[in-house]
Amino acid sequence: MYRPEIKVLDCTIRDGGLMNNWRFDKAMVKAVFDGLVKAGVDYVELGYRADKKQFSVDDFGPWRFCDEEDLREVAYDCATKVCVMADVDRTDFNDIIPAKDSIVSLYRVATYVKDMDKAIELGNHCKEQGYAVSVNIMAISHALEQDLDQALEKLAPTNFDYVFVVDSFGNMTPIQIEYTVHKYAAMLPGKEIGIHCHNNQQLAFGNTIEAALKGVTCVDGSVYGIGRAAGNCPLELILGFLNNPKYDVTPVLDLIEEYLAPLKKELKWGYEIPYALTGMLNMHPRPAMKFMKGGHDMSLRAFHEELVDEQDV
Protein backbone atom coordinates (compact mmCIF):
# COMPACT_ATOMS: atom_id res chain seq x y z
CA MET A 1 0.00 0.00 0.00
CA TYR A 2 1.80 3.11 -1.19
CA ARG A 3 -0.24 6.16 -2.12
CA PRO A 4 1.92 9.24 -1.48
CA GLU A 5 -1.08 11.56 -1.79
CA ILE A 6 -2.61 10.22 1.43
CA LYS A 7 -2.11 12.50 4.43
CA VAL A 8 -2.28 11.42 8.06
CA LEU A 9 -4.11 13.40 10.72
CA ASP A 10 -3.63 12.62 14.40
CA CYS A 11 -6.47 13.32 16.86
CA THR A 12 -4.84 12.00 20.05
CA ILE A 13 -5.37 15.09 22.18
CA ARG A 14 -8.68 16.21 20.72
CA ASP A 15 -10.54 12.88 20.73
CA GLY A 16 -8.61 11.48 23.68
CA GLY A 17 -9.67 14.51 25.68
CA LEU A 18 -13.24 13.23 25.61
CA MET A 19 -12.09 10.69 28.22
CA ASN A 20 -10.61 13.16 30.72
CA ASN A 21 -12.16 16.55 29.88
CA TRP A 22 -8.96 17.53 28.03
CA ARG A 23 -6.88 17.59 31.20
CA PHE A 24 -3.59 16.65 29.56
CA ASP A 25 -0.66 18.53 31.01
CA LYS A 26 1.32 20.71 28.64
CA ALA A 27 4.50 18.67 28.97
CA MET A 28 2.70 15.62 27.62
CA VAL A 29 0.99 17.53 24.80
CA LYS A 30 4.29 19.09 23.80
CA ALA A 31 5.93 15.65 23.78
CA VAL A 32 3.07 14.23 21.70
CA PHE A 33 3.35 17.04 19.16
CA ASP A 34 7.12 16.70 18.95
CA GLY A 35 6.91 12.92 18.57
CA LEU A 36 4.34 13.21 15.80
CA VAL A 37 6.52 15.75 14.01
CA LYS A 38 9.37 13.23 14.11
CA ALA A 39 6.96 10.55 12.86
CA GLY A 40 6.15 12.71 9.82
CA VAL A 41 2.43 13.09 10.58
CA ASP A 42 0.83 15.77 8.40
CA TYR A 43 -1.72 17.26 10.83
CA VAL A 44 -2.01 17.19 14.61
CA GLU A 45 -5.39 18.10 16.09
CA LEU A 46 -4.76 19.62 19.51
CA GLY A 47 -8.33 20.06 20.70
CA TYR A 48 -11.51 22.08 20.30
CA ARG A 49 -11.99 25.81 19.89
CA ALA A 50 -15.02 25.94 22.21
CA ASP A 51 -16.93 29.03 23.28
CA LYS A 52 -15.99 29.92 26.87
CA LYS A 53 -19.37 31.55 27.35
CA GLN A 54 -20.96 28.13 26.97
CA PHE A 55 -18.47 26.05 28.97
CA SER A 56 -16.92 26.64 32.37
CA VAL A 57 -13.15 26.93 32.06
CA ASP A 58 -12.82 25.32 35.50
CA ASP A 59 -14.51 22.13 34.29
CA PHE A 60 -12.10 21.43 31.45
CA GLY A 61 -8.44 21.39 30.54
CA PRO A 62 -6.99 23.91 28.08
CA TRP A 63 -7.43 21.70 25.02
CA ARG A 64 -11.20 22.22 25.17
CA PHE A 65 -10.57 25.83 24.17
CA CYS A 66 -7.17 25.87 22.43
CA ASP A 67 -6.24 29.44 23.21
CA GLU A 68 -3.49 30.67 20.93
CA GLU A 69 -1.00 31.11 23.78
CA ASP A 70 -1.59 27.54 24.98
CA LEU A 71 -1.10 26.14 21.48
CA ARG A 72 2.16 28.03 21.05
CA GLU A 73 3.50 26.54 24.28
CA VAL A 74 3.22 23.01 22.89
CA ALA A 75 3.51 23.38 19.10
CA TYR A 76 5.72 25.21 16.63
CA ASP A 77 5.82 26.04 12.95
CA CYS A 78 7.04 23.10 10.90
CA ALA A 79 5.92 20.72 8.14
CA THR A 80 3.43 19.16 10.57
CA LYS A 81 0.41 21.46 10.71
CA VAL A 82 -1.75 22.25 13.74
CA CYS A 83 -5.49 21.86 13.47
CA VAL A 84 -8.40 22.32 15.86
CA MET A 85 -12.05 21.29 15.79
CA ALA A 86 -14.93 23.75 15.91
CA ASP A 87 -18.39 22.43 16.80
CA VAL A 88 -21.41 24.03 15.18
CA ASP A 89 -23.28 26.15 17.77
CA ARG A 90 -20.42 25.76 20.28
CA THR A 91 -17.87 28.10 18.71
CA ASP A 92 -17.61 31.87 18.99
CA PHE A 93 -16.73 33.28 15.57
CA ASN A 94 -14.78 36.04 17.31
CA ASP A 95 -12.35 33.45 18.69
CA ILE A 96 -11.22 32.56 15.17
CA ILE A 97 -8.46 35.09 14.60
CA PRO A 98 -6.86 35.68 11.18
CA ALA A 99 -4.68 32.77 10.10
CA LYS A 100 -1.64 35.04 9.73
CA ASP A 101 -1.75 35.58 13.51
CA SER A 102 -2.34 31.93 14.44
CA ILE A 103 -0.32 28.74 14.61
CA VAL A 104 -3.45 26.86 13.44
CA SER A 105 -3.57 25.86 9.75
CA LEU A 106 -6.78 23.80 9.52
CA TYR A 107 -10.18 24.12 11.15
CA ARG A 108 -12.32 20.98 11.25
CA VAL A 109 -15.97 21.96 11.47
CA ALA A 110 -17.99 19.26 13.24
CA THR A 111 -21.66 19.03 12.32
CA TYR A 112 -24.66 16.79 11.86
CA VAL A 113 -26.49 16.68 8.55
CA LYS A 114 -29.36 18.74 9.98
CA ASP A 115 -27.00 21.63 10.75
CA MET A 116 -25.22 21.81 7.41
CA ASP A 117 -26.27 25.41 6.76
CA LYS A 118 -24.68 26.45 10.06
CA ALA A 119 -21.58 24.39 9.29
CA ILE A 120 -21.17 26.13 5.95
CA GLU A 121 -21.53 29.51 7.64
CA LEU A 122 -18.82 28.59 10.16
CA GLY A 123 -16.60 27.09 7.47
CA ASN A 124 -16.95 30.19 5.31
CA HIS A 125 -15.91 32.35 8.25
CA CYS A 126 -12.81 30.20 8.77
CA LYS A 127 -12.00 30.43 5.06
CA GLU A 128 -12.37 34.22 5.18
CA GLN A 129 -9.83 34.26 8.00
CA GLY A 130 -7.37 32.37 5.78
CA TYR A 131 -7.60 28.78 7.06
CA ALA A 132 -7.94 25.46 5.32
CA VAL A 133 -11.32 23.94 6.23
CA SER A 134 -12.64 20.43 6.71
CA VAL A 135 -16.26 19.54 7.40
CA ASN A 136 -16.69 16.43 9.53
CA ILE A 137 -20.23 15.07 9.14
CA MET A 138 -20.80 13.17 12.36
CA ALA A 139 -22.98 10.12 13.03
CA ILE A 140 -23.68 9.42 9.38
CA SER A 141 -24.78 5.90 10.32
CA HIS A 142 -27.86 7.63 11.78
CA ALA A 143 -28.50 9.88 8.78
CA LEU A 144 -31.25 9.16 6.30
CA GLU A 145 -29.79 8.87 2.82
CA GLN A 146 -31.89 11.69 1.42
CA ASP A 147 -30.77 13.99 4.25
CA LEU A 148 -27.12 13.11 3.68
CA ASP A 149 -27.53 13.72 -0.05
CA GLN A 150 -29.03 17.15 0.60
CA ALA A 151 -26.17 18.01 2.96
CA LEU A 152 -23.57 16.99 0.38
CA GLU A 153 -25.37 18.99 -2.31
CA LYS A 154 -25.06 22.06 -0.10
CA LEU A 155 -21.36 21.39 0.47
CA ALA A 156 -20.52 20.82 -3.19
CA PRO A 157 -20.27 24.50 -4.26
CA THR A 158 -18.19 25.57 -1.24
CA ASN A 159 -14.44 26.08 -1.42
CA PHE A 160 -13.73 23.86 1.58
CA ASP A 161 -10.71 21.57 1.38
CA TYR A 162 -11.83 18.32 3.01
CA VAL A 163 -15.03 16.51 3.89
CA PHE A 164 -14.71 13.60 6.32
CA VAL A 165 -16.71 10.41 6.54
CA VAL A 166 -17.21 9.98 10.30
CA ASP A 167 -18.33 6.70 11.87
CA SER A 168 -19.12 8.24 15.25
CA PHE A 169 -20.75 5.16 16.78
CA GLY A 170 -18.39 2.51 15.40
CA ASN A 171 -21.33 0.95 13.59
CA MET A 172 -20.25 0.90 9.95
CA THR A 173 -18.80 -2.04 8.02
CA PRO A 174 -16.27 -1.98 5.15
CA ILE A 175 -19.08 -2.35 2.59
CA GLN A 176 -20.81 0.72 4.01
CA ILE A 177 -17.53 2.62 4.08
CA GLU A 178 -16.90 1.82 0.41
CA TYR A 179 -20.41 2.96 -0.55
CA THR A 180 -20.15 6.17 1.46
CA VAL A 181 -16.68 7.11 0.23
CA HIS A 182 -17.82 6.66 -3.37
CA LYS A 183 -20.90 8.81 -2.65
CA TYR A 184 -18.81 11.62 -1.16
CA ALA A 185 -16.33 11.53 -4.03
CA ALA A 186 -19.08 11.58 -6.66
CA MET A 187 -21.05 14.40 -5.03
CA LEU A 188 -18.09 16.54 -3.98
CA PRO A 189 -15.85 16.94 -7.04
CA GLY A 190 -12.68 18.86 -6.33
CA LYS A 191 -12.74 18.18 -2.59
CA GLU A 192 -10.52 15.75 -0.72
CA ILE A 193 -12.26 13.05 1.27
CA GLY A 194 -11.15 11.93 4.72
CA ILE A 195 -12.08 9.13 7.11
CA HIS A 196 -12.50 9.06 10.91
CA CYS A 197 -13.49 5.74 12.50
CA HIS A 198 -14.33 4.59 16.02
CA ASN A 199 -13.41 1.11 17.16
CA ASN A 200 -16.54 -0.21 18.91
CA GLN A 201 -16.63 -3.38 16.80
CA GLN A 202 -12.88 -3.68 16.18
CA LEU A 203 -13.43 -2.30 12.66
CA ALA A 204 -11.72 1.09 12.85
CA PHE A 205 -8.49 -0.08 11.21
CA GLY A 206 -10.26 -2.29 8.67
CA ASN A 207 -12.63 0.52 7.73
CA THR A 208 -9.74 2.97 7.43
CA ILE A 209 -7.90 0.55 5.13
CA GLU A 210 -11.04 0.18 3.03
CA ALA A 211 -11.39 3.95 2.74
CA ALA A 212 -7.73 4.33 1.78
CA LEU A 213 -8.09 1.68 -0.91
CA LYS A 214 -11.20 3.39 -2.25
CA GLY A 215 -9.64 6.81 -2.67
CA VAL A 216 -9.71 8.92 0.50
CA THR A 217 -6.72 11.24 0.78
CA CYS A 218 -6.68 11.91 4.54
CA VAL A 219 -6.88 9.28 7.27
CA ASP A 220 -7.46 9.90 10.98
CA GLY A 221 -5.84 8.05 13.81
CA SER A 222 -4.71 8.48 17.40
CA VAL A 223 -1.73 7.16 19.31
CA TYR A 224 -2.59 3.76 20.81
CA GLY A 225 -6.16 4.33 19.61
CA ILE A 226 -7.00 6.79 22.40
CA GLY A 227 -10.44 8.36 22.05
CA ARG A 228 -13.95 8.41 23.39
CA ALA A 229 -15.12 5.02 24.67
CA ALA A 230 -13.79 2.35 22.27
CA GLY A 231 -11.37 4.87 20.82
CA ASN A 232 -10.18 5.47 17.29
CA CYS A 233 -8.07 3.80 14.65
CA PRO A 234 -4.57 3.36 16.13
CA LEU A 235 -2.15 5.74 14.46
CA GLU A 236 0.72 3.26 14.66
CA LEU A 237 -1.24 0.76 12.54
CA ILE A 238 -2.01 3.42 9.94
CA LEU A 239 1.65 4.41 9.62
CA GLY A 240 2.66 0.79 9.16
CA PHE A 241 -0.04 0.12 6.60
CA LEU A 242 0.65 3.13 4.38
CA ASN A 243 4.18 1.91 3.66
CA ASN A 244 5.29 5.49 2.98
CA PRO A 245 8.95 6.22 3.81
CA LYS A 246 8.03 9.75 4.96
CA TYR A 247 6.39 8.20 8.05
CA ASP A 248 8.34 6.69 10.93
CA VAL A 249 6.45 4.65 13.52
CA THR A 250 9.29 4.54 16.07
CA PRO A 251 8.60 7.96 17.69
CA VAL A 252 4.99 6.84 18.12
CA LEU A 253 6.16 3.71 19.92
CA ASP A 254 8.11 5.95 22.29
CA LEU A 255 4.96 7.98 23.00
CA ILE A 256 2.98 4.82 23.70
CA GLU A 257 5.58 3.49 26.11
CA GLU A 258 6.09 6.75 28.01
CA TYR A 259 2.61 8.27 28.01
CA LEU A 260 -0.25 6.34 26.43
CA ALA A 261 0.23 2.87 27.93
CA PRO A 262 0.26 4.23 31.51
CA LEU A 263 -2.65 6.55 30.70
CA LYS A 264 -4.74 3.67 29.35
CA LYS A 265 -4.73 2.03 32.77
CA GLU A 266 -6.44 5.16 34.12
CA LEU A 267 -8.78 6.17 31.29
CA LYS A 268 -9.59 2.67 29.99
CA TRP A 269 -10.47 3.43 26.41
CA GLY A 270 -10.54 0.66 23.80
CA TYR A 271 -12.54 -2.39 22.84
CA GLU A 272 -14.95 -3.54 25.54
CA ILE A 273 -18.20 -5.48 25.25
CA PRO A 274 -20.46 -2.57 26.35
CA TYR A 275 -18.96 -0.37 23.62
CA ALA A 276 -19.32 -3.20 21.11
CA LEU A 277 -23.01 -3.49 21.98
CA THR A 278 -23.72 0.20 21.39
CA GLY A 279 -21.78 -0.07 18.13
CA MET A 280 -23.82 -3.07 16.98
CA LEU A 281 -27.04 -1.22 17.82
CA ASN A 282 -25.89 2.03 16.18
CA MET A 283 -26.18 3.96 19.43
CA HIS A 284 -24.15 6.70 21.07
CA PRO A 285 -21.65 5.09 23.51
CA ARG A 286 -22.86 7.25 26.42
CA PRO A 287 -24.76 4.42 28.21
CA ALA A 288 -21.80 2.08 27.73
CA MET A 289 -19.45 4.65 29.22
CA LYS A 290 -21.76 4.89 32.24
CA PHE A 291 -21.84 1.09 32.51
CA MET A 292 -18.04 0.94 32.38
CA LYS A 293 -17.73 3.25 35.38
CA GLY A 294 -19.25 0.49 37.52
CA GLY A 295 -21.18 1.01 40.73
CA HIS A 296 -23.93 -1.37 39.60
CA ASP A 297 -24.63 -5.09 39.55
CA MET A 298 -26.04 -5.23 36.01
CA SER A 299 -24.91 -8.14 33.84
CA LEU A 300 -23.89 -7.73 30.21
CA ARG A 301 -27.06 -9.59 29.21
CA ALA A 302 -29.23 -7.17 31.21
CA PHE A 303 -27.33 -4.20 29.79
CA HIS A 304 -27.89 -5.46 26.25
CA GLU A 305 -31.59 -5.98 26.92
CA GLU A 306 -31.84 -2.45 28.30
CA LEU A 307 -30.21 -1.03 25.18
CA VAL A 308 -32.57 -2.98 22.93
CA ASP A 309 -35.57 -1.76 24.93
CA GLU A 310 -34.31 1.83 24.66
CA GLN A 311 -33.83 1.42 20.94
CA ASP A 312 -37.41 0.21 20.55
CA VAL A 313 -38.93 3.20 22.35
> What range does the domain containing 277 cover?
273-312
Q: Are residues 159 and 277 in the same domain?
A: no
Domain count, the chain: 2
Q: Where residue 178 sits, what CATH number does that domain have? A: 3.20.20.70
Dump pLDDT digits (tens) for 238-270: 999 999 999 999 999 999 999 999 999 999 999
62-106 pLDDT, tens digit each:
999 999 999 999 999 999 999 999 999 999 999 999 999 999 999
Residues 152, 281, single domain; the answer is no
The answer as to whether 112 is a domain residue is yes
For residue 173, pLDDT beyond 70 = yes
Residues 91 and 209 in one domain: yes
**Binning pLDDT at 50, 70 and 90, where does residue 293 land?**
very high
Please tell me whether residues 127 and 216 are part of one structural domain: yes
- What's the rounded mean pLDDT across residues 28-32? 98
Same domain membership, residue 183 and residue 298: no
Determine, yes or no, domain membership for 298. Answer: yes
In-domain check, residue 184: yes
Q: How confident is the model at residue 195 (pLDDT cuts 50, 70, 90)?
A: very high
C-beta pairs of 54-60 under 8 Å, 24+ apart in sequence? 54/90, 55/90, 59/21, 60/21, 60/22, 60/23
pLDDT in tens, 34-63: 999 999 999 999 999 999 999 999 999 999
> 261 and 278: one domain?
no
Torsion of the alpha carbons at 71, 74, 75 and 76, rounded to the nearest 10: 110
Same domain, 83 and 130: yes
pLDDT in tens, 210-247: 999 999 999 999 999 999 999 999 999 999 999 999 99
Residue 1 lies in a domain: no
Q: Does pLDDT of 313 surpass 70?
A: no
pLDDT of 1 > 80? The answer is no
Q: Are residues 158 and 34 in the same domain?
A: yes
How far is 280 from 283, CA to CA, in rounded Å?
Answer: 8
Average the pLDDT over 296-309 and give the result.
96
Pair 197, 279 in one domain: no
Closest CA to 105 of 149, 57, 145, 161: 161
Q: Does residue 224 sit in the same domain as residue 281? A: no
Q: Are 219 and 204 in contact, with CB atoms under 8 Å apart? A: no
Confidence of residue 312 (pLDDT cuts 50, 70, 90): confident
What confidence score (pLDDT) does residue 33 get?
A: 98
Same-domain pairing of 161 and 305:
no
